Amino acid sequence: MPIELYTLIPIFFFIALFYAAAGFGGGSSYLAILALFSFEFTTIRLIALLCNITVVSGSVYIFYKNGYLRLKRILPLIILSVPFAYLGGRMKISQEFFFIILGFTLLTAAILMLLSKPVQSKKLPVYANAIIGSGIGFLSGIVGIGGGIFLSPLLYLSRWGTAKTIAACTALFIFVNSIAGLIGQVMTNGFPVDFSFAGWLLAAVFLGGQIGVRLTAFRLNPVVVKRITAVLILLVAVRILWRSLL
């Protein structure tokens, strides 16, 4: 087992646990952690998306089983997000530009997450769903995340639903966009992932994600978890921007 795995396995486990508890996959933090090691950035994005898919696939099942997933309401957001995530994944960018985009992406997401509050539900117009879905999908495809860290705060700010309903729909959004982004990146850059290495990380996030989503569905307040997650993302964003710009 490569020496890096002894550090990455427990970190990825706890990232998945905390993010799944808020309805996320953890892609932003996987990217940030892997960026500290000497991996190619194309490989980093693929591993982050694979971990995302692994975590949120379990989350979608648990949330759906317990009646929190509102398919009719999330569908308008997904329709345009998927093709745009694919297009974003197909874009060729330099490593330097990638980390700058990632840093500002995480910084914006953290601020939105800290500002958003759960309030009375309100239905968004169709055009708003289209704009939100396509924009988040495209950015997610470029960076290599599922987009939940953007969607969730916007849903809170727009009074879209309850905390658990938002967590459930965010998980589904991440799932489909992570798959679309993964396909787009594979079509452009191939699949430079060693599963003898990545397989351990996927196992760690699967276990952490299963624990995290069950804590949210039955015990923990996802709003509290979201605040903790926002602080972690903020710290990661500052670190990435510090290394990229200075």
Q: What are the C-alpha distances in Å from 90 to residues 4, 35, 106, 187, 190?
A: 29, 21, 21, 7, 11
Burial class (CB in 10 A: 0-12, 13-18, 19+), 3: exposed
Please tell me the distance from the alpha carbon of residue 185 to that of residue 79, in angstroms, as a whole number.
20
The predicted-structure confidence for 189-243, as pLDDT tens digits, reads as follows 788 888 888 899 999 999 998 888 777 655 556 566 667 767 777 877 887 788 7
Q: Where are the alpha helices (DSSP H) in 66-124?
A: 71-90, 95-115
Position 9 scores a pLDDT of 92
Counting the structural domains of the chain, the total is: 1
The predicted-structure confidence for 157-193, as pLDDT tens digits, reads as follows 777 777 778 878 888 999 998 998 889 888 887 888 8
Structural domain span for residue 166: 3-245
CB atoms within 10 A of CB 119: 12
Please tell me the distance from the alpha carbon of residue 63 to that of residue 78, in angstroms, as a whole number.
17
Sequence-distant (≥ 6) Cβ neighbours of residue 215 within 8 angstroms? 17, 21
Please tell me the distance from the alpha carbon of residue 169 to that of residue 189, in angstroms, as a whole number.
30
CA quadruple 209, 213, 219, 224: dihedral sign: positive
CA quadruple 172, 129, 131, 75: dihedral sign: positive
Position 94 scores a pLDDT of 80
pTM value? 0.81
Q: What are the C-alpha distances in Å from 207 to residues 9, 32, 91, 203, 236?
A: 11, 20, 32, 6, 23
H or E element that contains 6: helix 3-21
User: CB–CB of 239/32 below 8 Å?
Assistant: yes
The predicted-structure confidence for 7-66, as pLDDT tens digits, reads as follows 899 999 988 988 887 778 888 788 878 877 778 878 888 999 999 999 998 888 888 888
User: CB–CB of 188/42 below 8 Å?
Assistant: no
Q: What one-character DSSP code corresponds to residue 125?
A: P
Q: What are the C-alpha distances in Å from 221 to residues 27, 89, 114, 188, 228?
A: 21, 33, 15, 40, 11
pLDDT greater than 70 at residue 245: yes
